[in-house]
Each structure stands twice: as structure tokens, then as C-alpha cells.
Structure 1
């Protein structure tokens, strides 16, 4: 099962009338959250280090396999208030959001740092990130190839 399928099931395959964000919406919400951090991606990385998950986030930036993160650890790093706010924006519960972000963030950060470097301004550009993925399919596909 692909990550896209996992996300679709997490969203309960919402009807077009509403009731939940699409995976692309989750990516947009995650990117907005990252960009609104003091320092952008750099600030988020610092939060991971301050909350005991520095090795995990470093694996997403560095070359090689991305270490997984649990939804509980992610909630601890981001803070329950931030998770609740993001969940409200995405139209899902906090538990659903933290689980989905635990799947999406490693790939998003990985793709935003293709050479193992954080963008100079720490900001993520949706077009650039999706362009480096060849569209959303790349974001939700397998992440087993090492970065160039």
C-alpha cells in the first residue's frame, strides 16, 4: 500500500462535499506550518533537536534512509497546541493529523533538502518541492532511493 493510499484511508476517503483535506492539502498545511516557524525549516529542525529527536530529523536531511517518527514524538516536538491548530486547518482530528504528518514530514523535509542542505532562508516553496518530486505522486511514493 502506498503512502497516498494510507493517507486516503486516514482521511476516510472523504466525499467531494467536504469532510477532510486531500493529501495535497496536508502537504500545503505542513509547508505553511514549516514556513511560519521562526526560522522556517531551520527553526523546525532546531525544535526537533531541542526535544530529543535531532537524530531523526537529521536523517531526513542527510543522505540515506529516513528514520521514522512516531505520532507521539511528533506531537511532543511540535506541541499539542500546534497539532490541534493544524488538525483544525486540515479538517481532521489531532491524532489523525499527527499520524499523517509522521508519514509526510520525513518525505517533505527529505525532498526540500535534495543535497542535504536546508534552503538558505529556511522557507519551503510548494512549487519547487513538488517540482523536485515530479508532482505529488513522487511525494507519496516509495522513498528508498538515496539522494544524489
Structure 2
């Protein structure tokens, strides 16, 4: 998985992310936990942005794997009213920050619990690490300001 590995290595200063974060980010972005509602109520629709968002294929169009995970993550942020945050990570400008609590709301408690268990760390530590590093990981996985194509991921 060179494309994914390269993005993780570029995401943190020195190119080294802690093993639990790599496990959690990998699980999150490989779509294992993004297909389905964890029982949380559907969020209210987000207000229309001032500028049109970058068009992105839906998670259903992307299938599984990394592209499905990225698409599913994008949909979760949009549905939770934080599409502008993840759009900044995908875009070529500065990455907007996200607070751990907000990230937890976007992903849902069951997803966070599953990821923390898989990574072998507590939920708050996982959220803190993801909030700090996920913007750079997503930014590095979308170097052209959009979700990558299957051919780009395969290279």
C-alpha cells in the first residue's frame, strides 16, 4: 500500500506516527467502520456553504478500500455539518483544525470505541491523536485537491 504508507509518513513531522495511530487511521480510512450508522441520530443538514464545495464521488461510488474510506469519511463530515473542515483537508490550502470532541461526534461513539479497541489505546487518546494528525493524513492522501482515482491509489 505505497500510496497510503507515503501519506502516513508525510503526515507527521519526521514521518513517524505512533503505531496505535497508524492502526486506527488505517482502519478508519480502509472503510471498515464507515459503512453503517452506529445508532446515533441523523445529524441536522448543514447550511449551504458560501462557495460551492469541491465535487467528490460518494462512498457508494468509490466501493471499499481506501477510496471508499475516504468517501465515507467525507460523507460523515458533510452529514454532521463539518464538510467545510474536511474540504480544507482535501483542498490545497491550509488545513482547518478539528477538536477531539467534534471528531468524536462526526465519527460516532461506536466507531471511536471500535478504533480504540483495535489500536489498543483509550478513546480519548485516540481522539486526541486523530484530531492532531488526521488533517495531514487526509491532505496527503488528496494531493491534487480531490479524492484520488483508483489508478492514483494503485501507483
**TM-score category of the 2 structures, normalised to the smaller one:** 0.5 to 0.7
| Structure 2 residue corresponding to 1:70, chosen from 95, 99, 118 | 99
Match of 2:85 among 50, 56, 77: 56
Partner of 1:117: 146
Query: TM-score, length-normalised on structure 1?
Result: 0.64
Quote the RMSD (CA, aligned, Å): 2.5
Q: Which residue of 1 aligns with 2:27?
A: 32
Distance 1:45 1:59 in 2: 11
CA displacement 1:28-54 (0-9 Å, x = unmatched): 421222222342201110110100111
The structure 1 residue matched to 2:113, chosen from 69, 73, 84, is 84
What TM-score does the superposition give when structure 2 sets the normalisation length?
A: 0.62
Structure 2: any 5+ residue segments left out of the alignment? 1-11, 36-58, 60-68
Residue 93 (structure 1) aligns with: 122
Deviation track 1:83-106 (CA, whole Å, cap 9, x = no partner) reads 011111111111110111001110
Deviation of 1:117 after TM superposition, in Å, equals: 1.4
Native 8 Å contact 1:34 1:44 kept in 2: yes
Runs of 4+ in 1 over 4 A off after TM superposition: none
Once residues 55 and 115 of structure 1 are traced to their aligned partners in structure 2, the CA distance between those partners, rounded to angstroms, is 17
Is the 2:100–2:128 Cα contact (8 Å) retained in structure 1? yes
List gaps (5 residues or longer) in structure 1: 9-21, 129-148
